[in-house]
Structure 1
Amino acid sequence: MQAAALKSAFVRALPVFILLVLGASAADAANSISGNIFTEADNAFTVLLVDKQASELHIAEVNNKVPQITKSYAALHGRNSGDKLKEGDNKTPEGFYYITGYVPPDKLDSTLYGDGAFTLNYPNVMDKYKGKTGHGIWIHGRGADRNNEKTQGCVSLSNRDLTSIKPLLLPGTPVIISDTIEFLSPEDYSKNKKKHMDFFKRFISSWENSDFKGFASYFSANFRAYDGLSAENYLNKKKQLMLTNPKRKVFVSDVNIFKENANKLMYSFNQLYCSDNIMSYGSKKLYLMVEKADNFRIIAEEFTELELEPFLEKSVISTVNNWKTVWQARDIEKYISYYSSSFRSDDMDIKQWKAHKEGLFQNTKTIKVNLTDIKLKAVSSGKIVVSFIQEYTSGAVADRGIKTLVLTGCPGDYKIIEEVWRPALTGT
């Protein structure tokens, strides 16, 4: 009975024991969801959260769109408090960063930096915009000669802890450094996520629907674009695009929202912009700050062009296969719906092409088409050139050749504007 009573008392005291050993923030982290990460991305990924006030580094593992804290470590930071402003101020910067590389211990003074260092992209575009100076902000180990409890601005872990998380610290891994990290209950997390995601959806909708007034309202008067344009010049450029290309589609994917504190957010996402004659794809980051009336405004942006063809491949192949299916079914109305009103093939326009194909459909009972080696290339005019090996069989007619289709439009709404066939060369 006495042993059972002691066991019961120990279990009741366990939460207090955890608080004493880990500290209140680490205990909160172990039982809550990170309030600094919101995502609609389907892929799993890792985010590092540095809490300067608690002197801790948390590992947030994002699975099924939920960020859970899986590990927490004691971490040193700059000996002076506050956000880094200039070189030599011995402060650790606060903001949104990414791991850019790894420096092994044999390339460092290991007596200071221990078992290696992971470099960060400080100063980022927001830091430069604010006029911050300095460089060489790392997450590194701890050498035997580092007896002080602070750094010159880096984040430092024990060598054992750095080694344990090294496999997670890949280039591109997000790092959020804040004065204090936020932890939320599942209910509060859902509310915050919806608020931030709804804001983003309204912003994209205003752009897609040429609502210039609504679109412009999301930007700070102090905004600077990635190419250096001021808010006025940037918005004038967007307004002109809306006037000259009123129809557009803006496809976004892998949307992540990172929160530094109550006043700073970053939206990171991949974006396809598609209009009548422009198609571009890239990675975009929007940096936001709270301005008057507690409203977030976009203060800066980054855009990195990405390869377009891999992103378009799935939608283009789906369109081509669906086109093939209705062709084999000899359904002239569905078949011709895949073609633009501006279509041309040799000397035939869309009306002549329809009449030509309708006659062929009526004079045959079966059509079989096999497509292989589908390749695509996006060209600057907003068109997509698709080529493939086509094997065609209809009654006594059989041929094999290279078919080229030129598509216009956006994913989900492609139209064939040009079609060319030539015999395939056969080897001996």
Structure 2
Amino acid sequence: MRVKKVWSGALSFVFIGMMGLHADTLMGFVKAYQEKGIDSIERLLQSYLTQREFWEDVLENRDISFGYYENMDYLFVIDKADPKLALYALEGEKIVKVNQTKALVGSKGGDKKSEGDKATPIGVYQILKKLTGLSAYYGPFALETNYPNPLDIAFKRTGHGIWIHGLPLSGKRDELNTKGCVAIENAILKDYEQRIKGKKALLIVYEGALKYATKDELATILSALYSWRSAWANNDLVGYMNFYSPDFKHASGMNFKTYEKFKTRVFTKNETKTIRFSGVNITPYPNTEHRRLFRVAFNQDYKAYKKNKLSYSSQGLKELYVELKDNQMHIIMEK
């Protein structure tokens, strides 16, 4: 089976090029529809999403150096050890380098741990918005990041105000480092901002070497992600909790044991759940401990029903921070 195109919508539906579909597979879909209706087709598609082989096929011709993206537009990437800020455009299956420029970063190496330590954080950060009306020292404007992100908070890292900003409008700057931000030339900052305006962008910060994602790693994570969802939807507590690290921390402050107790109460309600994922983005997460970490973010539409009546619903961005160990995905943090 050759997958021609994958898109995530209300059903995380897989559009398959009909000419490339094996006849027996196609007939399986037709027979399921004839005998059991359209819901059976959804169940078949959901089962494909839990299979590594399916995702290996999806990833075959994609550039996945910086991860897997369904609805991300741009990536900023910088090495603290040799600070040059690069901008990449995500164009379908391709990742295209737009430009790269010299940058200034914080004077302290390693992770940012506390307020005022003058370290640029290592990790993956969302570009939130453009900040204007700042001191002329920061150039024409700044692009705000979401440091500290949920993983930073779980690790009790403090500080705030990590931006991508310009150079003093006066043209005078003697410092070779920032207090933790990334600073670049004003003209290039303006060009970058115009490109990403109204688009979604991430900042990836590493130090010394970035270990790129592999198709094997991404296929493992993607199949595990949908297997995790399946266990959740089917009220399979044991299968669900098997995806969590013993060192797991929830954004609410719950650890593994308290989270397991919470989910036990939820699962024993025996509700019927509909859980849709869309816009899945997976980014290798740089860290100084040399762990194989990834940020997994997606839009989640969750609905629970009791006796055919809606009992709970939520919709929004879901973030998982996962670690790959022994070819298995372990969730270490969730928001």
Return the TM-score normalized by structure 2: 0.70
1:283 aligns to 2:311 (yes or no): no
Q: What is the aligned partner in structure 2 of residue 87 from structure 1?
A: 115
CA RMSD of aligned residues (A): 2.6
Q: Would the aligned equivalents of 1:245 and 1:275 in 2 still touch at CA under 8 Å?
A: no
Q: Would the aligned equivalents of 2:63 and 2:93 in 1 still touch at CA under 8 Å?
A: no
1:221-275 Cα deviation digits (max 9, x unpaired): 3322233333222222222322222532321111111112352211111112233
Q: What pairs up with 1:335-354 in 2 under 5 angstroms? A: none
Aligned length: 262
1:219 aligns to 2:229 (yes or no): no
Q: What is the aligned partner in structure 1 of residue 144 from structure 2?
A: 119
Higher relative contact order (CA 8 A, sep 6+): 2
1:366-409 Cα deviation digits (max 9, x unpaired): xxxxxxxxxxxxxxxxxxxxxxxxxxxxxxxxxxxxxxxxxxxx
Q: What pairs up with 1:3-402 in 2 under 5 angstroms? A: 33=63, 35-39=65-69, 41=70, 43=71, 45-104=73-132, 107-110=133-136, 112-143=137-168, 144-170=171-197, 173-180=201-208, 182=210, 189-245=214-270, 247-261=272-286, 263-276=292-305, 277-289=311-323, 295-302=328-335
Q: What CA distance in whole angstroms lies between the structure 2 residues aligned with 1:221 and 1:239? A: 16
Larger Rg: 1
- Bigger proportion of residues as strand: 1
Q: Would the aligned equivalents of 2:221 and 2:329 in 1 still touch at CA under 8 Å?
A: no
Give SS of 1:244's match. Answer: coil
1:147 CA drift (Å): 2.7
Q: Would the aligned equivalents of 2:235 and 2:270 in 1 still touch at CA under 8 Å?
A: no
In structure 2, relative to structure 1, the CA distance for the partners of 1:77 and 1:295 (3 Å cut) is farther
Partner amino acid, structure 2, of 1:102: K
Q: What CA distance in whole angstroms lies between the structure 2 residues aligned with 1:230 and 1:181? A: 32
1:119-142 Cα deviation digits (max 9, x unpaired): 212112221211111111110111
Q: What CA distance in whole angstroms lies between the structure 1 residues aligned with 2:196 and 2:144? A: 10
- Runs (5+) with no aligned partner, structure 1: 1-31, 303-428
- Bigger proportion of residues as helix: 1
Q: Would the aligned equivalents of 1:33 and 1:69 in 2 still touch at CA under 8 Å?
A: no
Percent identity, aligned pairs only, is 27
1:346-383 Cα deviation digits (max 9, x unpaired): xxxxxxxxxxxxxxxxxxxxxxxxxxxxxxxxxxxxxx
1:170 CA drift (Å): 4.2
Q: What is the aligned partner in structure 1 of residue 53 from structure 2?
A: none
Worse overlay, 192-201 or 136-145: 192-201
1:34 CA drift (Å): 5.5
Q: What is the aligned partner in structure 2 of residue 25 from structure 1?
A: none
1:285-341 Cα deviation digits (max 9, x unpaired): 1122456x5754222222xxxxxxxxxxxxxxxxxxxxxxxxxxxxxxxxxxxxxxx
